[in-house]
Amino acid sequence: MSRIAYVNGQYVQHSEAAVHIEDRGYQFADGVYEVCEVWNNQIVDMPRHLDRLGRSLSELSIDWPMSRPAVEFVLRQVVRRNKVRNGLVYIQVTRGVSKRDHFFPPANVAPSIVVTARSSNPAAVNAQAEAGISVFSYPENRWPRVDIKTVALLPNVLAKQSAKERGGKEAWYVDADGNVTEGGSTNAWIVTKDGKLITRPAESGILRGITRTAILDLVEREGLSFEERPFSLEEAYDAKEAFVTAATNIAMPVVRIDDKVIGNGHPGSVATRLRELFHTATDLKVV
């Protein structure tokens, strides 16, 4: 099936979708994005994703490209037009098209918006979760404002490629104090040997993941032992379980970190249970 994209007011063939060469997203990575899971013809946690999009835009002084209800409409339309039952819908907003200049463009330059959607194979993702993944540590080298979901992802690309070349699926950033911050495109979690769930606070140093927030709601609902605090790489090596969270994989068990087998080398019961229950703790918007 031919894919459809939304680009600055028009639905176009994905193969023909394009933005101007002087779009500031291309020139300066001057833009932000969001990715929502599509599950059983429903967009998962769209209000939270758009809340975070609004915050990212505000932090960079970029205007909404259209009203929020209009953005919601476009997201639904792109999912429908691509007949995505299970997959992802992606939205990117940049500061717009203007001559290349580090200063912001004139006030009459409108932000650019692109929305795409694609299907995924739930069976393949579930099979990966049943086996678990490997992650590799990587020195934290990003700018401090990782709380803004910008399209400036080159450090993440390099970290994840480094992990891939060593046989891993994700990289875990480690700060100067030896603590894990987050993954290249995920939030990081461990379960201690006494059964306590640990993840780093989102006040600074990490992105406040929407999937992370839903998992925290689920943890509270299920009465699991939990602590929001930094954890070291050494503590992660010694953990009973580890996993990562993101819209692209929900809760993905980690069975190896660097050369260390985690727990018994198989996906743990906590991560597996959170994965099973995840959509019961989310806001589902029918497409």
Catalytic residues: 149
Instruction: Give the helix, strand, coil percentages of the chain, each rounded to 5.
Output: 30, 30, 40
C-alpha dist (Å) from residue 228 to 142, 191, 211: 22, 12, 15
Q: Which helix (H) or strand (E) holds 237?
A: helix 233-237
How far out from the chain centre does Cα 267 lie? 21
- Listed in sequence order, the residues at least 6 apart from 94 whose beta carbon sits closer than 8 Å to its beta carbon are 19, 23, 24, 25, 30, 31, 62, 111, 112, 151
Residue 130, classified by CB atoms within 10 Å of its CB into exposed (0-12), middle (13-18) or buried (19+), is exposed
Strands of 102-249 (E only): list them. 112-119, 133-139, 170-174, 179-183, 187-191, 197-199, 226-228, 231-232, 241-246
Of the candidates 176, 109, 169, 165, the one whose C-alpha atom is nearest the C-alpha of residue 135 is 169
Whole-angstrom distance, CA of residue 94 vs CA of residue 151: 9
Distance CA 211, CA 248 (A): 9
Query: How many whole angstroms separate alpha carbon 245 and alpha carbon 82?
Result: 26
CA distance linking residue 147 with residue 261, whole number of Å: 30
The length of the chain in residues reads 287
